[in-house]
Amino acid sequence: MSKVILITGASAGFGKACAEHLAEQGHRVYGTSRRAQFPQEAIDYSQPLLIPMDVCSQESVEKAVHFILEREKRIDVVVNNAGMGVAGAVEETSVEEARALFETNFFGVLRVCRTVLPTFRAQEFGLMINISSLGGLVTLPFQGLYSASKYALESISDALRMEVQPYGIKVVVVEPGDFRTNFSESRVVSAESNDNSLYKQRCDRAIAVMAKDESEGYDPRLLAELLGQIIKTKSPQHRYSIGPLSQRVAIGLRWLMPSWLRDRVLMLLYRV
């Protein structure tokens, strides 16, 4: 059955792959991008429609949701995918940089959820899929603030799931590992991580390892196919992890190691 699907951050990477795949499956897909424009002509539902939304702006979120509801009268699925990455030592990441990260990765999701949930509740159904990360389960060196934003998303998703369950609303978290997207190129490095930084050499080595792993990661279409299966599933799991087997095994083993050993292994892997 065709669903009306809203996907944030759909101009590239995961969002674009998911939007294209779900449109191919016959769903009515509305992707969002800060640089898009509302269409003036008739909508071609064989392709995902890109509409403007800045998840850091409540007004922008409301306009996009209103646009969809005016045309479709419902929203069946929301995929909270919009996100950004900030790398750098915790000491060298400013409060302003951390706030900008959380505005997108955490508060952006909160804005979209708060705006769509009244519609879900009135419908007595709805599926909220929040794209987290394996980095929201294990923190990597020099990516502490990014991991913190994803840990926060994991937590709020669990609370939301329990709160909205009586209204027929489902909440699912998807935790990707390394995929071949534009994430490496768009990752922001904190301003203080410059040539005068005490952490620079170690930070640069860690980021290089991350970039290499991402360049050799999975095709984002695999995540898109997983979303397609989740949307078809009557009773989806609370969480889905997807990515290279070695990463998923490492996540599973994290609680079996003492914290000092886990830290040591990660420091060796990321050459810090």
3-state secondary structure the chain: CCCEEEECCCCCHHHHHHHHHHHHCCCEEEEEECCCCCCCCCCCCCCCEEEECCCCCHHHHHHHHHHHHHHHCCCCEEEECCCCCEECCCCCCCHHHHHHHHHHHHHHHHHHHHHHHHHHHHHCCEEEEEECCHHHCCCCCCCHHHHHHHHHHHHHHHHHHHHHHHHCEEEEEEEECCECCCHHHHCEECCCCCCCCCCHHHHHHHHHHHHHHHHCCECHHHHHHHHHHHHHCCCCCCEEEECCHHHHHHHHHHHHCCHHHHHHHHHHHCCC
197 counts as catalytic = no
Q: Which of 16, 133, 146, 199 is catalytic?
A: 146
Is 94 tagged catalytic? no
Active-site residue, from 30, 147, 150, 240? 150
Note if 235 is an active site residue.
no
Query: Of 132, 157, 184, 193, which is the active-site residue?
Result: 132
Q: Catalytic: 146?
A: yes
Residue numbers annotated as active site: 11, 132, 146, 150
